[in-house]
């Protein structure tokens, strides 16, 4: 019989999209959570509902500078995740990834804590192996506009595995594929938040390129379940492990789903494809299935409905396009 052990857990980037869902989950599981964030892209609104919980603490701090903490587990999520935000100050993005990893690994080494790294499918760059397996080394342009993010995350992975070899640090590395859901930043330019807010406002849907490029979208609750399973797995499971939903679709189809689910009359306009935009991306999740017993549960339409509901409320319910048809089905 397994006994519950309350852990002290540090979550960097805890006020962001994924971080706030993770803090919520860990508190629900009965743990003590320290959320560290500099609020660059994170928002206090994302964690406002957690502040009354006596097991929840927040610290405004930039992880590219050193931190001392006594904890049992560290989830390192701090890093701007959308191109618009990580390209705003590329040097700071690299500092966050590289120095942030060094500082979190330092805490883990000193305290013996397990340390989890939120890596990314971007380490595969514009992949020529499809779907992407963890042993693929990737195809990244080290000089392009996405490099501050991609190479920063690649360097962080290197640091994690060197720390394990050199110091025996207990590491957990996951590579996250496109994830969506409530509390995505409405203005971060990512495709799901863009399409939904455009549809709700009746604005044009901005499709980049011909919309034939593919992505596979994972709903946030599925991803967080994968995080917790990874952290709770045996020490010899270090990763990297892909976490994402392998249901791959052209981005054009996403636009059509959003239009259908919102009932919006927005029209689709075609804009140029950004430089280095990957033409296809889809996770191979065999490792996650076998090692973690993990499998996404939430289908695209279901997840989109919940996200549409969130953005509709965020926009003040003014859009009116939800007019009863979906509204009853999407709460929660
Ligand atoms: P997000 O921008 O909502 O969250 C990132 C958080 O980190 C924000 O709260 C931000 O304020 C904070 N932060 C940034 N720099 C910091 C610093 N120097 N010190 C302290 N805090 C800092 O993004 P997200 O989607 O929640 O992503 C979380 C993590 O997951 C990131 O590391 C990202 O690279 C990774 N990831 C996300 C996705 C996705 O689809 N959402 C995909 C792959 C990887
Ligand atoms: N995209 C789009 N319209 C938008 C925003 C994004 O067509 O308004 C496309 C983008 O070019 C990319 C895909 O959607 O091919 C996913 O973009 P996102 O920035 O969400 O994630 P990433 O490129 O990092 O996978």
Strand partners, 139: 125
Where b means 16+ CB within 10 Å and e means fewer, 76-99 reads bbbbbbbbebbbeeeebbbbbbbb
Which ligand is the nearest neighbour of the Cα of 77?
1
User: Pick the catalytic residue: 75, 86, 149, 310?
Assistant: 149
Annotation marks residue 39 as catalytic: no
Question: How far apart, in whole angstroms, are the C-alpha atoms of residue 328 and residue 306?
Answer: 11
Q: Give me the domain span that covers residue 63.
A: 8-179+218-246+281-298
Question: Between the CA of residue 42 and those of 134, 142, 327, what are the distances in Å?
Answer: 29, 27, 27
Residue 270 domain-assigned (yes or no): no
The answer to whether residue 16 is domain-embedded is: yes
Which residue's C-alpha comes closest to atom 25 of ligand 2?
178
Span 24-48, pLDDT tens digits: 999 999 999 999 999 999 999 999 9
> pTM score, two decimals?
0.94
CATH number at residue 18: 3.40.50.720
Q: Which atom of ligand 1 sits closest to the CA of residue 93?
A: 15
Contact 95, 150 (CB under 8 A): no
Write out residues with Cβ below 6 Å of ligand 1: 12-13, 15-19, 37-42, 62-64, 77-81, 96, 100, 118, 120, 176, 178-179, 185
Q: What angle do CA 277, 278, 282 make, to 5 degrees?
A: 145
CB atoms within 10 A of CB 327: 14
Identify whether 262 is part of a domain. Answer: no
Q: Which residues surround ligand 2 with Cβ inside 6 Å? A: 82-83, 178, 190-191, 194, 206-208, 213, 215, 251, 273-274, 277
Categorize the per-residue pLDDT at 3 as very low, low, confident or very high, splitting at 50, 70 and 90: confident
Residue 202 lies in a domain: no
Q: Which residues pair with 216 in a beta bridge?
A: 248
CB atoms within 10 A of CB 194: 22
- C-alpha to C-alpha distance for 135 and 306, rounded to whole angstroms: 34
Beta-carbon contacts of residue 75 (< 8 Å; ≥ 6 apart): 9, 10, 11, 12, 19, 22, 116, 118, 227, 231
DSSP state letters, 94-134? HHHHHHHHHHHHHHHHHH--EEEEEEEGGGGBS-SSSSBPT
- State the pLDDT confidence band at 1, using cuts at 50, 70 and 90: low
Into how many domains does the chain fold? Answer: 1
Q: What is the mean pLDDT of the chain?
A: 94
Q: What is the pLDDT of residues 307-325, one digit of tens each?
A: 999 999 999 865 545 543 3
* Closest approach atom of ligand 2 to CA 251: 14
- Quote the CA–CA distance of 271 and 191 in Å, as a whole number: 13
Residue 237 inside a domain? The answer is yes
Residue 194 forms part of a structural domain: no
How far apart CA 282 and CA 249 sit, in angstroms, is 9
Asked whether residue 49 is domain-assigned, the answer is yes
Residues sharing a CB contact under 8 Å with residue 274, sequence separation 6 or more, in sequence order: 83, 145, 208
User: pLDDT band for position 22 (50/70/90)?
Assistant: very high
Give a yes or no: residue 190 inside a domain.
no
Instruction: Give the model confidence (pLDDT) of 57-93 as tens digits.
Output: 999 999 999 999 999 999 999 999 999 999 999 999 9
Which residues, 6 or more positions from 28, have their beta carbon under 8 angstroms from its beta carbon?
A: none
Instruction: Write the pLDDT tens digit of every residue in 243-284.
Output: 999 999 999 999 999 999 999 999 999 999 998 899 999 999
């Amino acid at each position: 019989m397994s006994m519950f052990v309350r852990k002290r857990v540090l979550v960097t980037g805890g006020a962001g999209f994924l971080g706030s869902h993770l803090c919520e989950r860990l508190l629900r599981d009965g743990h003590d959570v320290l959320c560290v964030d500099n609020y660059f892209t994170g928002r206090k609104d994302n964690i406002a509902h957690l502040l009354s919980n006596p097991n929840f603490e927040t610290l405004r701090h930039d992880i590219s500078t050193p931190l001392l903490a006594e904890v049992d587990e560290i989830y390192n999520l701090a890093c701007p995740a959308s191109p618009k935000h990580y390209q705003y100050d590329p040097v700071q993005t690299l500092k966050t990834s590289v120095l942030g990893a060094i500082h979190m690994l330092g805490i883990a080494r000193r305290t013996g804590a397990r340390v989890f790294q939120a890596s990314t499918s971007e380490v595969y760059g514009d992949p020529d192996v499809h779907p992407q397996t963890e042993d693929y080394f990737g195809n990244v342009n080290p000089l392009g506009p996405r490099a501050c993010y991609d190479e920063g995350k690649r360097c962080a992975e290197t640091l994690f595995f060197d720390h394990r070899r050199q110091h025996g640090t207990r590491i957990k590395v996951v590579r996250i594929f496109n994830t969506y859901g409530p509390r995505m930043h409405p203005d971060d330019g990512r495709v799901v938040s863009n399409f939904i807010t455009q549809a709700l406002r009746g604005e044009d849907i901005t499709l980049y390129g011909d919309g034939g490029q593919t992505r596979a979208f994972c709903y946030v609750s599925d991803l967080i379940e994968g995080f917790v399973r990874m952290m709770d797995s045996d020490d010899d499971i270090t990763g990297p492990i892909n976490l994402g939903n392998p249901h791959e679709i052209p981005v054009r189809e996403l636009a059509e789903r959003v239009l259908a689910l919102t009932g919006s009359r927005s029209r689709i306009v075609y804009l140029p494809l950004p430089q280095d935009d990957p033409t296809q991306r889809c996770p191979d999740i065999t490792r996650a299935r076998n090692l973690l017993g993990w499998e996404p549960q939430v289908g695209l339409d279901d997840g989109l409905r919940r996200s549409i509901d969130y953005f509709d409320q965020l926009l003040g319910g003014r859009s009116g396009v939800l007019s009863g048809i979906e509204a009853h089905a999407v709460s929660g």
